[in-house]
């Protein structure tokens, strides 16, 4: 615990000077001599048989090195995650296209402009097939089929709990909540630069959260040994979960480099990114929550349809988090949750910050607010009456074991810090005066799960002869500040200045192994691995010192910068001296005993123009508990970014298809990503309830801000107009939707 305490400093992000002065090394910064440019020919229709591909005109254009279709490259199709084999995604579509943006061919040319011109000349003859866009309809028997061979569109279906969950309830509220489809839209879109390594293998710079998985998938798709592929992620300009799937383009560009014997680069255009990169969320939730008249919860039933997009991948797993977490921070004795994940003729659905957990929080927190209205009870009081009081570990009816928590404290702190009672008074006053600008106050108490899927991560440490400490981590930062975090850990454990620590990650040619960054796993797993490696190195160095000084290891003291015999400071040996002959090395594969459950409570206050339906967040208080905090500054940054994305989902963003499967939000003019003008100042407060599952006591925080904020903002908007009879509004709650809801509640 002494070490943990030493780690809590707000060390400024070491990567920022590099990143904000343009000295970062992103994939786009990799310039290789003679590099060719790839541009993909993508389907312009949502569902069709490919009758013919005419590439003759394109192939003769200036600078074109080739126009390639699936048969030219032989890149293997893959079913990702536990997806049915019949729904596997081919690297390039050769028989059927299944969404607008599905890649059909790839043009390689000397310049990107030449490749774009040639791609425009590739003529694809389509025989249209029936399109299915709505997941609820896709899940029905007799629907048009996205993958004919499968026989239905069901990628996955599961149920937890049992019928009768609402039995005995005196009050039951019902809701249909749409958790809309979102685009991740990272600043840096998907991109790859691949070059042959001269020995039959290749090096590929890829913007990804999971370099080792990309390596393995490229190797498998190309029939190479994993050791023949080196993947380097370098700096990554945001991932938000959408750089967790591996993309067929990564294997195709790699295959092209090998085939042509030259480096090849591919960068998505923004409009291409919006249709081709995976999307997230996309659930329709039918929810019933039952309680007694005093507010005591009795049971929860939920039926969820999740959209998998054209080729099911990670979307399959997400309801598996939504379901068990749908009882949230409450004692709900009985529950039943059923989910079906259906393929549609839309872009692939995968993870987006929170991946299944914001959906769970919205599900239960919307239902709690509906129940509060029904019972005429203050939403804070209803929450208070039902919160899990402990003791921890606490096993939920769905079988998740919450490691540690103090949900009531998070609620009370959020209420107090936001002046909840004061806002309620102001809300009443405005309503009584008949003000045009109404107030809404929204609460969201949440619990989420981190450290999911793979419970293991790799860390290594090496001390060089000049005293430089090099840390290797198997995680891959896309903006989370790992260089700072891991350096902080190494500095504290080794007792060296942070300035001498270098962090290397996201390069499969340098780091031994790693599972990457997702599910807010990096600190608890990667950080614990780095810590373990450093502790092992201290012990090794202590023994080496003892040997050199001909002393007993038990008499050797670890002091700042090195080691000394106890009581004899003059005997000190520095790390550099110990490493003079050969570097000192140690590594650890840390395995976490169980997953961790961060929690918190967000309060959003919105001001809403009742004449136009325009709502703005004027105050947002976030109380989050991610266990023991390593660096409050990193944590605050994560919460800020997460809340921005939560506000964005609640009020602005939605990726929209028309019934024919045409995407309607293919630029950042149509896809309403908020700017700083729409995001409120965010007030953050932290609790620290350590997790027993790792030596740092840490839980994840990378997604918490999104998970906590979305439902708080949604609840606030609906709360603003609840006195007018509005019971629910789906996200994004743009002015038209809010205005229509008000009109509908007042009888049109």
Interface residue list for ligand MCN (CB under 6 A): 238-241, 353, 478-482, 485, 517-523, 626-631, 634-635, 638, 641, 698-703
Sequence-distant (6+) residues with CB within 8 A of 487 are 11, 14, 471, 498, 501, 502, 503
Q: How far is the CB of 629 from ligand MCN (least distance, A)?
A: 4
Query: Residues 359, 362, 364, CA angle at the centre, nearest 5°?
Result: 110
Q: Identify the residue whose tokens are 């106050």.
A: 441
Query: Which residue intervals of 612-697 are DSSP H helices?
Result: 632-651
Q: How far is the CB of 208 from ligand MCN (least distance, A)?
A: 11
Cα separation, 37 vs 27, in Å, equals 14
Instruction: Compare residues 186 and 467 and give the one whose CB is closer to ligand MCN.
Output: 186
Nearest in space to 317 (alpha carbons), one of 192, 198, 431, 449: 449
Instruction: Compare residues 386 and 691 and give the one whose CB is closer to ligand MCN.
Output: 691
Q: How far is the CB of 599 from ligand MCN (least distance, A)?
A: 13
Q: How far is the CB of 13 from ligand MCN (least distance, A)?
A: 9
Q: Identify the residue whose tokens are 């004919």.
A: 148
Task: Report helix, strand or coil for 428.
Answer: helix
| DSSP letters spanning 257-291 | HHHHTS-EEEE--HHHHHHHSPEEEEEEEEEEEEE
Q: Residue 151 burial (CB < 10 Å; 0-12/13-18/19+)?
A: exposed
Q: How far is the CB of 260 from ligand MCN (least distance, A)?
A: 32
Q: Identify the residue whose tokens are 């590929």.
A: 204
Instruction: Compare residues 203 and 357 and give the one whose CB is closer to ligand MCN.
Output: 357
Other C-beta atoms within 10 Å of 224: how many? 18
Q: How far is the CB of 638 from ligand MCN (least distance, A)?
A: 5
| CB contact at 8 A, 616 and 678 | yes
Q: How far is the CB of 147 from ligand MCN (least distance, A)?
A: 28
Instruction: Compare residues 481 and 646 and give the one whose CB is closer to ligand MCN.
Output: 481
Cα separation, 497 vs 492, in Å, equals 8
Instruction: Compare residues 654 and 703 and give the one whose CB is closer to ligand MCN.
Output: 703
Q: How far is the CB of 677 from ligand MCN (least distance, A)?
A: 20
Nearest in space to 126 (alpha carbons), one of 42, 48, 46: 48
Beta strands in 437-520 (DSSP E): 437-447, 456-463, 469-473, 501-505
Q: What kind and span of H or E run contains 114?
A: helix 112-121
Q: How far is the CB of 383 from ligand MCN (least distance, A)?
A: 24
Query: Which residue intervals of 610-699 are DSSP H helices?
Result: 632-651
Cα separation, 278 vs 101, in Å, equals 11
Cα separation, 718 vs 336, in Å, equals 26
Instruction: Compare residues 19 and 724 and give the one whose CB is closer to ligand MCN.
Output: 19
Report the C-alpha dihedral over residues 675, 676, 681, 684, rounded to 10 degrees: 70
Task: Report helix, strand or coil for 29.
Answer: helix
45-69 as b/e: b if 16+ CB within 10 A: bbbbebeebebeebeebeebbbbbb
Q: How far is the CB of 722 from ligand MCN (least distance, A)?
A: 32
Instruction: Compare residues 288 and 404 and give the one whose CB is closer to ligand MCN.
Output: 404
Instruction: Compare residues 249 and 703 and give the one whose CB is closer to ligand MCN.
Output: 703
Q: Identify the residue whose tokens are 């001269």.
A: 198
Nearest in space to 537 (alpha carbons), one of 484, 480, 587, 471: 587
| DSSP letters spanning 522-538 | IIIIIIHHHHHHHHHHH
Instruction: Compare residues 43 and 649 and give the one whose CB is closer to ligand MCN.
Output: 649
Instruction: Compare residues 356 and 613 and give the one whose CB is closer to ligand MCN.
Output: 356
Q: How far is the CB of 451 from ligand MCN (least distance, A)?
A: 8
Q: How far is the CB of 8 from ligand MCN (least distance, A)?
A: 9
Q: How far is the CB of 706 from ligand MCN (least distance, A)?
A: 8
Instruction: Compare residues 196 and 642 and give the one whose CB is closer to ligand MCN.
Output: 642
Q: How far is the CB of 591 from ligand MCN (least distance, A)?
A: 16
Instruction: Compare residues 535 and 551 and give the one whose CB is closer to ligand MCN.
Output: 535
Cα separation, 90 vs 7, in Å, equals 47
Q: Which residues are bridge partners to 109 per DSSP?
A: 37, 64
Instruction: Compare residues 11 and 305 and give the one whose CB is closer to ligand MCN.
Output: 11
Instruction: Compare residues 161 and 627 and give the one whose CB is closer to ligand MCN.
Output: 627
Q: How far is the CB of 517 from ligand MCN (least distance, A)?
A: 4
Q: Which residues are bridge partners to 107 per DSSP?
A: 39, 67
Cα separation, 29 vs 22, in Å, equals 10
Percentage helix, strand, coil for the chain under 3-state DSSP, each rounded to 5: 30, 30, 40
Instruction: Compare residues 345 and 710 and give the one whose CB is closer to ligand MCN.
Output: 710
């Amino acid at each position: 615990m002494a070490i943990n305490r030493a780690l809590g400093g707000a060390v400024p992000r070491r990567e920022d000077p590099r990143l904000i002065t343009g000295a970062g090394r992103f994939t786009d910064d990799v310039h290789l001599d003679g590099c060719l440019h790839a541009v993909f020919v993508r389907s312009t229709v949502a569902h069709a048989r490919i009758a013919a591909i005419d590439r003759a005109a394109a192939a003769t254009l200036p600078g074109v090195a080739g126009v390639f279709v699936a048969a030219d490259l032989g890149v293997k199709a893959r079913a990702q995650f536990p997806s049915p084999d019949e729904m596997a995604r081919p690297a390039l579509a050769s028989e059927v296209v299944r969404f607008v943006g599905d890649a059909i061919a790839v043009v390689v040319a000397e310049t990107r402009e030449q490749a774009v011109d040639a791609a425009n000349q590739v003529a694809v003859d389509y025989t249209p097939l029936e399109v299915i866009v709505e997941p609820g309809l896709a899940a029905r028997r007799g629907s048009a089929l996205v993958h004919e061979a499968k026989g239905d569109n069901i990628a996955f279906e599961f149920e937890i709990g049992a019928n009768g969950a609402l039995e005995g309830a005196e009050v039951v509220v019902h809701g249909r909540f749409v958790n809309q489809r979102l685009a991740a839209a990272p600043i840096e879109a998907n991109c790859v630069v691949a070059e042959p390594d001269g020995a039959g293998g290749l090096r590929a710079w890829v913007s990804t959260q999971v370099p080792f998985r990309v390596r393995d998938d490229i190797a498998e798709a190309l029939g190479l040994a994993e050791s023949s592929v080196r993947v380097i992620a370098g700096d990554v300009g945001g991932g938000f979960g959408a750089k967790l799937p591996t993309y067929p383009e990564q294997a195709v560009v790699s295959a092209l480099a090998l085939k042509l014997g030259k480096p090849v680069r591919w960068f998505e255009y923004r409009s291409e990114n919006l249709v081709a990169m995976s999307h997230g969320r996309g659930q329709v939730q039918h929810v019933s929550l039952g309680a007694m008249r005093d507010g005591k919860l009795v049971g929860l039933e939920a039926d969820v349809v999740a959209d998998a997009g054209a080729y099911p991948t990670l979307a399959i797993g997400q309801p598996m988090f939504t379901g068990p977490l749908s009882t949230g921070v409450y004692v709900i004795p009985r529950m039943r949750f059923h989910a079906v994940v259906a393929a549609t003729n839309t872009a692939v659905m995968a993870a987006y910050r929170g991946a299944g957990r914001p959906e769970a929080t919205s599900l239960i927190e919307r239902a709690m607010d509906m129940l509060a209205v029904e019972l005429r009870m203050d939403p804070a009081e209803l929450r208070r009456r039902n919160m899990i009081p402990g003791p921890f570990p606490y096993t939920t009816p769905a079988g998740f074991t919450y490691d540690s928590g103090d949900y009531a404290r998070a609620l009370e702190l959020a209420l107090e810090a936001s002046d909840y009672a004061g806002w309620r008074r102001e809300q009443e006053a405005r309503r009584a005066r008949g003000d045009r600008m109404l107030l809404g106050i929204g609460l969201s108490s949440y619990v989420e799960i981190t450290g999911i899927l793979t419970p293991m991560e790799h860390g290594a440490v090496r001390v060089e002869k000049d005293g430089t400490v090099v840390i290797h981590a198997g995680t891959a930062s896309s903006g989370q500040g790992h260089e700072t975090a891991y350096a902080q850990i190494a500095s504290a454990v080794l007792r060296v200045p942070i300035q001498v620590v270098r962090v290397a990650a996201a390069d499969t040619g340098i780091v031994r192994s790693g599972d990457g960054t997702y599910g807010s796993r990096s600190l608890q797993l990667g950080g614990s691995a780095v810590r373990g490696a450093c502790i092992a190195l201290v012990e090794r160095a202590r023994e080496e010192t003892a040997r050199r000084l001909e002393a007993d290891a038990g008499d050797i003291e670890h002091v700042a910068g090195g080691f000394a015999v106890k009581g004899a400071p003059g005997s000190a040996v520095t790390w550099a001296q110990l490493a003079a002959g050969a570097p000192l090395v140690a590594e650890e594969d840390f395995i976490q005993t169980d997953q961790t459950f961060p929690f918190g409570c967000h309060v959003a206050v919105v001001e809403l123009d009742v004449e136009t339906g325009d709502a703005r967040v004027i105050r947002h208080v976030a109380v989050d508990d991610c266990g023991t905090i390593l660096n409050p500054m990193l944590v605050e940054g994560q919460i800020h970014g997460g809340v921005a994305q939560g506000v964005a989902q609640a009020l602005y963003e939605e990726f929209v298809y028309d019934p024919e499967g045409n995407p309607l939000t293919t630029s950042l003019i149509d896809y309403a990503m908020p700017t700083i003008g729409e995001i409120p100042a965010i007030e953050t407060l932290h609790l620290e309830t350590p997790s027993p599952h790792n030596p740092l006591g840490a839980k994840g925080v990378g997604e918490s801000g999104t998970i906590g904020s979305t439902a708080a903002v949604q609840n606030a908007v609906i709360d603003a107009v609840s006195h007018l009879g509005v019971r629910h509004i789906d996200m994004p709650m743009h002015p038209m939707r809010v205005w229509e809801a008000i009109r509908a509640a007042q009888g049109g």
